[in-house]
Amino acid sequence: MKMQNTTTKKTATKGVIRYGHTESRGKANRTQYLSVHKVQRSDELLEFLLKKLNTSRNNVKALLSRRQVLVNGSVITQYNFALAKDDEVKIARESVREEAGRPAAQQAKRGKSEKILPAPKVKILYEDEDLIAVEKPEGLLSVESDKEKECAFAQVLHYLQSKDKASRPFILHRIDKETSGVLLFAKNIKLHSMLRMQWNELVQTREYVAVCEGIFEKKADTVQSYLRENVNNLVYSTQDPTGQKAITRYQVEKEGNGYSFVRVEIDTGRKNQIRVHMQSIGHPIVGDDKYGHTKNPLGRLGLHASCLTILHPITKELLTFRSLVPANFYKCFAK
286-300 burial: b if 16+ Cβ within 10 Å, else e: bbbebbbbebebbeb
Helix (H) or strand (E) holding 278: helix 273-280
Cα–Cα distance for residue pair 141/144, rounded to 1 Å? 6
Cα–Cα distance for residue pair 167/161, rounded to 1 Å? 6
Q: Which of 119, 123, 121 is nearest to 110 (CA)?
A: 123
Residue type, 304: H
Cα–Cα distance for residue pair 254/311, rounded to 1 Å? 31
233: left (phi over 0), alpha (psi -120 to 50) or beta: left
Residue 176: active-site member: yes
Three-state SS for 99-129 is: CCCCCCCCCEEECCCEEECCCCCCEEEEECC
Q: Which of 43, 130, 176, 288 is catalytic?
A: 176
Reduced to 3 states (helix: H, G, I; strand: E, B; else coil), residue 222 is strand
Helix (H) or strand (E) holding 70: strand 69-71
Cα–Cα distance for residue pair 232/229, rounded to 1 Å? 8
List the catalytic residues: 176
